[in-house]
Structure 1
Amino acid sequence: MGKEKPKYCEICGAPIRGPGHIIRIEGSELLVCDRCYEKYAHKKPGTFSIMPTGRQPTRRTYSRPPSRPKPAPKPRTERPLVAEEIVEDYAERVYQAIQRSKKSYQELAQEIGLSMNDLRAIAHGHREPTIKEARKLEKYFKIKLIESVESEVQEKKIIPRNYEPTLGDIANVRIKKRKK
């Protein structure tokens, strides 16, 4: 006769050595290992469940090699944030610079490195140039299109490590009043 097929515990999945044990849990008969038999066989029916209860599993701890001490954090000097913005009258400045150059849009577009449509749209105010495009235009025409704007440093809100967000924290709830 061939080798007998190995049996596995229907609760924990461990291979069963020997005949195993049959126990009744929540109306079902299960083949279990010695350890699960000791754990569950003597319980009164209906007083327990092997289903997860929602409790957090115990964390396994692993030994780590000793770590080097972290260097002391550098003191942060509060300096304002500097943001770059395109000036409001960019279209007028670019258009006047184009008129002064006395060149066609096609010639200028090739020399600056922009498409003719982009250059025309920026000059006529149909769209605002990106910072990269504005730098190209500033360099070519020697005009000012980018201004630095200082903004206040906003302090980060410190959230405790053990904080669990509530539904209200996640959802942006808008309450509408009913019409009577």
Structure 2
Amino acid sequence: MGKAKPRYCEVCGAPIRGSGHRIRIEGAEVLVCNRCYEKYGGKKPGTFSIMPTGRQPTRRTYSRPARPRPAPKPRTERPLYTEEIVEDYAEKVYRAIQRSGKSYEELSHEIGLSMNDLRAIAHGHREPTIKEAKKLERYFKIKLIETSGEEVLEKRSIPKDYEPTLGDIANIKIKKRKKK
């Protein structure tokens, strides 16, 4: 007999070790991992509900005085093209640094990136953000961003056998029942 297919939590998507737990959420019976069971299993039925808010739940670890938020800028229409970092970005940045004849320290001050960021990008340990790439492009006069019009490139590939979990689609909110 073949190995049993691993089962995944229907809320967070984590592989379930052991038999998992069946709990009721909004009248539906779902299979959950130990962590989600601890989070939602001990609640009385109907004390939490799934709200598709599309926001990540906020995790508060410590409280700090609220900072006044700057007024939101009016949103401008997004252009119909995507900006992507070129594949050989590391090589281009590294060569430009060599050509400049300056130390990482000097360059970090002049470009406005930390030495660690600069080194990580030049050695290909991480891709620069669009903002960082623009600073590097301006400074070294090299091309690091390619724009492709109209076609929106798919950013993340999803494996064929992927099944979305409840947690992917909805955010679970725990509602306190109002005492009447």
Q: Does TM-score exceed 0.5, indicating one fold?
A: no
User: Rg larger in 1 or in 2?
Assistant: 1
With normalisation by structure 1, the TM-score equals: 0.40
With normalisation by structure 2, the TM-score equals: 0.40
